Structure 1
Amino acid sequence: MDESSYWSRVQRIFNMMDIRTAFVTSAQVDAALDLLEQHEQGGEISAEKLDRARKIKEAVIHPDTGEKIFLPLRLSFIIPCNLVLDTLMLSARGFSQNVGAQWLNQTYNCLHYYANRNASNAESMEKIFQAYLGATASSVGAAVGLNALLDRAPQGRPWTRLARKLIPFCAVAAADVLNLGITRRDEFLQGIKVYDEKGEEVGESRRAGAMAVSACILARVSAAAPVLLLPPLVMHRLERTRFFLRHSYLKTPALMGMIALSIQAGVPLSFGIFKQKASVDVASLEPSLWNCRVSEVYYNKGL
């Protein structure tokens, strides 16, 4: 996979988000893997078939485990899942709707993060459950707490209505930090495997694990910003226009359309900031790795 430039990484994530790859059958995945193996052994495969096989592998196969990622948790299925969840969060009104929307979103996020993690370390169900509880509690607490705070604001202030539209992003950002931090804490507490450019294991590094988790947190928060900030801010202006006052039933479809576009554009642009196969100088890692046979090592950042 080409990750040499920012735009090549953006294109790679964009291709991974192609919803058609979410529905490939197990037989099609196996056929793609066989095709790639034939190519590595010197077989002549057309460029079109080779690109298609690589696209399927990157979208479906976990880079560490080599196993197929469950369909709803693949990156290629992120638009339909998040379209529903983000619409629910941005449309939530009142205590029960806010709690329900945040709970559903964090349930999906926890499963998605785990499915696309760096799999150097096995995660126990206890740790996964702790991450799930922590993320759900933080997102629900942020959403309910900020809404309660705005309820105490002086009545009639125009900024309160706008501020409420920003609450889902604040809740999701807080939960992302806690969710990824807990789910993947073994990566910076125990370390992750690092490899040379040929893919041979060099050792394990806690510092590389911290870099991987930090990069994923930044990418996730950056990806959430355009999705949970731009559509509600635009709708805040549009819903007061004559057209939407007359056709109020179009507000939700318009919001969903903007959310879908924001996900399709925002996720590749945000995830492309960091390389999936990240590299780091050995001198920046633990002293125990300084005497290894290479000066630069690689690791799977995870998604």
Structure 2
Amino acid sequence: MESLKGFDIDIPRWDQSKFMGRLKHFFNITDCRTVLLPDSRLDEAKALVESCRAGSVPPGTTEEQLHYAKKLYDSAFHPDTGDRMNLIGRMSFQVPGGMAITGFMLQFYRTVPAVVFWQWVNQSFNALVNYTNRNAASPITPKQIGVAYVTATSTALATAVGLNLYTKNAPPLVARWVPFAAVAAANCVNIPMMRQQEILNGIAVTDEDGNTLGLSRKAAVKGITQVVISRVTMAAPGMIILPIIMQRLEKYRFMQKITFLHGPLQVMMVGVFLIFMVPAACSLFPQSCSMAVSKLEPELRESIISQYGGRVSYVYFNKGL
């Protein structure tokens, strides 16, 4: 179509330099309804995106159809490889997956076996999400995946069980916050471990035109730190505020008569939090992270200056999710 000539499908629909623009973008691609679509529909969206990139948009295609195809593409295909991601590891599955696991973690926090089981389930889910959304340019071996998984799970279990025992005589609300402490501690281990190759070898940094300038370990550390902060923020409201709500609700007689519904109720309420918190947490930092050349490793900084002089003052890289 004439009106679509020059249309760049890879330019985000909303301004990614502003928080509200990023929030609209991530509300779009974390839409959990996309996980219900069959692979054939996702493949059609990928084909449309690729044809648009090649400059051959099928006749009759509207701009809105292109935007929707890009939404499906971003929600289901890895940005580095273009491969379809496993369903459970997609960010669009964070709401249904996270609400079920978090709701049951908050419900079954009193006994050690229940704590161990649900923390293990949660870390298995997190490990799959972190692996799925890794920087594909930094390959990780099965052994490294195993070590990362075992380390993060052990950290979560040690934190949860240790605090569970420590808070036996603490106020009930404090005990309800133990799952969040375990999740936060595990995130600080799981994500860096799963993406250790990026920290060890660095990730590719580019200039604003996308030209690769080299590999930076400091850029990797900055990107991974931002992802850790985002993941903890994603879980915080539901896992901190919901226990307060439940503790107050459980004082009412009608709630004491329907204890069998407390678990499903918490799952639903966690879902309400996550619908907003998944895109909000992903939006805290720009996806295309920047870093001043002056803060890079000396050897990379000198290499950039020797090639470009003072023309490049910032480098850019994909921080991952």
Please give the TM-score of this superposition, normalised by the length of structure 2: 0.87
The yes-or-no answer on 1:9 pairing with 2:26 is no
Distance in 2 (CA, whole Å) between partners of 1:16 and 1:5 is: 17
Per the alignment, residue 298 of structure 1 pairs with: 316
The yes-or-no answer on 1:52 pairing with 2:63 is no
**TM-aligned CA deviation for residue 42 of structure 1:** 6.0
Per the alignment, residue 208 of structure 1 pairs with: 219
CA contact (8 A) 2:107 2:266 kept: no
Per the alignment, residue 252 of structure 1 pairs with: 263
CA contact (8 A) 2:95 2:278 kept: no
Amino acid at match of 2:106: L
Alignment size in residue pairs: 297
The yes-or-no answer on 1:65 pairing with 2:81 is yes
- CA deviations on 1:166-205 (whole Å, 9 max, x unpaired) are 0000000010001112111221221001123333322111
Distance in 1 (CA, whole Å) between partners of 2:260 and 2:200 is: 51
**TM-aligned CA deviation for residue 299 of structure 1:** 0.9
CA contact (8 A) 2:152 2:189 kept: yes
- 5+ residue gaps, structure 1, are 154-158
Amino acid at match of 1:36: V
Matches within 5 A, 1:81-92: 81-92=97-108
Distance in 2 (CA, whole Å) between partners of 1:105 and 1:184 is: 18
* More off after superposition, 180-189 vs 67-76: 180-189
* More off after superposition, 159-168 vs 25-34: 25-34
Amino acid at match of 1:296: Y
Matches within 5 A, 1:202-281: 202-281=213-292
- CA deviations on 1:7-41 (whole Å, 9 max, x unpaired) are 11112221122122223333323322332233331
- 5+ residue gaps, structure 2, are 1-11
Distance in 1 (CA, whole Å) between partners of 2:315 and 2:250 is: 52
Percent identity reads 35
**TM-aligned CA deviation for residue 256 of structure 1:** 1.8
For residue 197 of structure 1, give the secondary structure of its aligned residue in structure 2: coil
* Alignment counterpart, residue 152 of structure 2, candidates 123, 135, 145: 135
**TM-aligned CA deviation for residue 245 of structure 1:** 3.1
Distance in 2 (CA, whole Å) between partners of 1:279 and 1:88 is: 38
Per the alignment, residue 103 of structure 1 pairs with: 120
Per the alignment, residue 115 of structure 1 pairs with: 132
- CA deviations on 1:112-143 (whole Å, 9 max, x unpaired) are 10100122211011111111111111111111
Distance in 2 (CA, whole Å) between partners of 1:196 and 1:176 is: 30
Q: Which runs of 4+ in 1 moved over 6 A?
A: none
The yes-or-no answer on 1:37 pairing with 2:54 is no
Per the alignment, residue 156 of structure 1 pairs with: none
* More off after superposition, 102-111 vs 76-85: 76-85
Distance in 2 (CA, whole Å) between partners of 1:20 and 1:199 is: 33
Distance change in 2, residues 1:298/1:25 (3 Å): farther
CA contact (8 A) 2:289 2:319 kept: yes
Please give the TM-score of this superposition, normalised by the length of structure 1: 0.92
For residue 227 of structure 2, give the secondary structure of its aligned residue in structure 1: helix
Amino acid at match of 2:36: F
For residue 273 of structure 1, give the secondary structure of its aligned residue in structure 2: coil
- CA deviations on 1:199-251 (whole Å, 9 max, x unpaired) are 33221111110111100111111111012111111111111124323444443
Distance change in 2, residues 1:195/1:24 (3 Å): farther
